[in-house]
Each structure stands twice: as C-alpha cells, then as structure tokens.
Amino acid sequence: MKTESAPEVGVIVVAAGRGTRMGTKESKQFLSLKGKPIIVHTLEVFDRHPLIGEIVLVTGEQDVDRCRAWIAEYGIAKQVKVIPGGAERQHSVYRGLLNIGTPWVLVHDGVRPFVTSGQVTSCYEAAVEHGASILAVPVKDTVKQVDGQGRVTATPDRRSLWAIQTPQAFRRSDLLRAHEDAETAGFIGTDDAMLVERLGIPVKVTEGGYSNIKITTPEDLDFAEIIANKKEYRGEDKL
C-alpha cells in the first residue's frame, strides 16, 4: 500500500498585530474585504496551494476563538493551528516555529492577501535551491537617506534597492536557530530574513509582484478593493 510522504513545507501566517495606522477600532487583519475578513483571504491562498502541508496562524490571544470560528465558517479545508502570539512580531513567529513540524517553513504577513500561488511556489523553490528566499520587488522611486535634522545624506543607487515582501522561506532549523540567537543577543529584526542574515546564511531574492501589498492604512484598503475587483474580473487566484 502506497503511503503519503510527509509534507515538506508549512506556513506561519502572522496576524497578531493591533496596528494604529489604519485608524479603526478593529485590527486591520480582521477588516472586511469583498465580504469576508482579510485574514481569511490570506489563509485561502495557502489552503488552496498543493505544496502546503501545515498552516499555523498566530494571532492575538483575544482573537484565537473568532479566527477558529471563521476557519470553519469559510470552509478552510486544511487544518489550521491557531495560537496566541507574543509581544513583538518576532516573538509571534518564534511561537509559530515551535508549533510547526515541516522541514521548510514560509512566514507570511496576514495582511498580504494578494500573494499568488505562483509566487509562493517560486519563493519555496528558491529557498530549497539556495537555503533561504524572500519575495521582493524593485524599488520604483528614488530613495534618499536622511539624517535626524531632515537633511539628505545620500542617494542610494535605485538599481540595488528592493522592497521586501512576504512570504519568506527558510529551513525550519535555520530560522529556529536564528530566532534563538537573536533572543539571546536581545536583537529585534525588522523581518525574519534579517535574523537569518546575522548567521551568515545567504538569502536569495525572488521577484514578487506590486499587487502583493501589505494592507496597513486606509489608502491600502481602498487599493485592495481595486486589486480584488481586477483579480475577480480576470479569474485570477479565487477571492
């Protein structure tokens, strides 16, 4: 009798932040987009993806029950482990790592519902080939480095600058070691790749898409409605 092989990759979806830039009482990841919470749209991307074997959703302790209820209500087929997060995003990811068992792991922002299946696959495959991978897009604007007095100190070459997105993909053992090393050193990074970089592990940039936005402001939510309508019209990655 043929036995199924163990899943190789899982995803930690981070949705524990409260957020202040949205200007709403409700957390941004739970706001409605096309009739259902943003976090549900995000989970559906990974629920549909054939490579994803495990899903861990890290959210606020007060939000665990309603997230579990939404998972049932909206028919998420894969089992999703919902756990409470920590004080910082970094601590939330670490808790997710302790609750996932796949040898490869993706870390994804709960408020990025427009990542495509193809981008998820590309990020994972690049990590397997190179050791770690992150989605990113080339910066389109000129970027200035500015000091504390608001004066320009440098203009980096735009051709070398990329805006980083998620998912980010790693060997689970590498990312776990990176988090534990950062915790010991009292280091807080701005993303998981930064922690892995501290260990000297090379990180491959995989081109994402400009529609893979992080919804953090009211303007982002307006833009998200436009993206959702276009995707629905084109029949891309069901919303």
In a domain, 1, yes or no: no
Give residue-wise pLDDT tens across range 122-132. Answer: 999 999 999 99
- Angstrom distance (rounded) from CA 216 to CA 90: 18
Query: pLDDT-based confidence at 207, cuts 50/70/90?
Result: very high
pLDDT at 1: 38
Give per-residue pLDDT as tens, 180-200. Answer: 999 999 999 999 999 999 999
In this prediction, residues 155-175 reach a mean pLDDT of 96
- Residue 103's CB is within 10 A of a number of other CB atoms, namely 13
CA-to-CA distance for 157 and 216, rounded, in angstroms? 27
**pTM for this structure?**
0.93
User: Is residue 165 domain-resident?
Assistant: yes
Residue 139 within any structural domain of the chain: yes
204 domain residue, yes or no? yes
Average pLDDT over residues 132-157: 96
The answer to the question of residue 2 being in a domain is: no
pLDDT recorded at residue 233: 67
Give the distance, in angstroms, between the CA of residue 56 and the centroid of all CA atoms in the same chain: 12
Task: Tell me the pLDDT band of 3, cut-offs 50, 70 and 90.
Answer: very low
Q: What domain range includes position 211?
A: 9-234
Residue 16 is assigned to a structural domain of this protein? yes
Question: Is there a contact between 193 and 133 (Cβ–Cβ < 8 Å)?
Answer: no
- Mean of the pLDDT values across residues 62-70? 96
Average pLDDT value for the chain: 93
Q: Decide if 31 is inside a domain.
A: yes
Q: How many domains are contained in the chain?
A: 1
Lowest mean pLDDT: which of 17-26, 62-71, 188-197, 225-234? 17-26
Q: Residue 26 is part of a domain; what is its CATH number?
A: 3.90.550.10
Query: For residue 239, what pLDDT is reported?
Result: 52
What integer is the mean pLDDT of 62-87? 96
Q: Does residue 143 lie within any of the structural domains?
A: yes
Type of residue found at 154:
A
